[in-house]
């Protein structure tokens, strides 16, 4: 498989997972740090809302927002009906297992932020296979009526 094809098959949800891993590696104490949640939820800045309220925005908020945008793109990509999509689904499953192991084994990953990212990876896996099954069923029904 060509290099372009391998890049096209890579799950995009790896980007927020890698971002969190980079954060965990650089945090004081590294992956074994139990203060990950505290530093992730510290407000980076505040925004004033229309009615005059203050909205504190943390690194966790930014990371989850980025992960949701990537998740949306991955859902759109999962509708592709070629071999690359199958490889993407398999790699997404591997990514989910990696996330699950990190969450269970490293204290820095035992946060709500990483749990939600892991949940998005799982939903990406389920959605990808569901789209493939629905497409195969539709194709089988089409063949049946020919």
The span from the CA of 119 to the CA of 68, in Å, is 11
pLDDT at 115: 96
Q: pLDDT confidence of 140, banded at 50, 70, 90? A: low
Task: Report DSSP state, residue 87.
Answer: H
Q: Could you tell me the CA-to-CA distances from 60 to 20, 63, 138 in Å, in that order?
A: 9, 5, 40
Do 17 and 11 meet the contact criterion of CB atoms below 8 Å apart?
A: no
Question: In whole numbers, what is the pLDDT of the chain averaged over residues?
Answer: 85
3-state secondary structure of 54: strand
What's the pLDDT score for residue 46?
93
pLDDT score at 10: 87
User: Which structural domain, as residue segments, surrounds residue 98?
Assistant: 3-144
Q: Does residue 63 have a pLDDT over 70?
A: yes
Tell me what pLDDT residue 60 has: 92
What tens digit of pLDDT does each residue of 76-128 get? 887 766 777 788 888 999 999 999 999 999 888 989 999 999 999 999 999 88
pLDDT digit string, tens, across residues 29-58: 778 777 777 888 889 999 998 888 899 999
Query: How much is the pLDDT for 43?
Result: 92
pLDDT beyond 70 at 6: no
DSSP label of 45:
E
Q: How far is CA 127 from the centre of its chain?
A: 13
| Strand ranges for 13-115 from DSSP E | 43-48, 54-58
Strand partners, 56: 46
Number of domains, the chain = 1
The C-alpha atoms of residue 113 and residue 41 are separated, in whole angstroms, by 9
């Amino acid at each position: 498989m060509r290099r372009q094809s391998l890049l096209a098959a890579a799950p995009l949800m790896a980007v927020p997972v890698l971002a969190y891993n980079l954060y965990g590696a650089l945090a004081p104490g590294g992956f074994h740090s139990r203060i990950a949640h505290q530093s992730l939820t510290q407000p980076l800045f505040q925004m004033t809302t229309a009615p005059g309220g203050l909205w504190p925005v943390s690194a966790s908020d930014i990371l989850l927002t980025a992960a949701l945008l990537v998740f949306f793109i991955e859902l759109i990509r999962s509708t592709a009906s070629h071999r690359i999509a199958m490889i993407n689904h398999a790699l997404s499953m591997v990514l989910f297992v990696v996330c699950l192991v990190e969450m269970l084994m490293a204290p820095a990953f035992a946060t709500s932020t990483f749990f939600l990212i892991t949940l998005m990876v799982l939903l990406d896996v389920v959605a990808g296979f569901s789209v493939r099954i629905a497409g195969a069923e539709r194709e089988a029904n089409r063949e049946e009526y020919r």
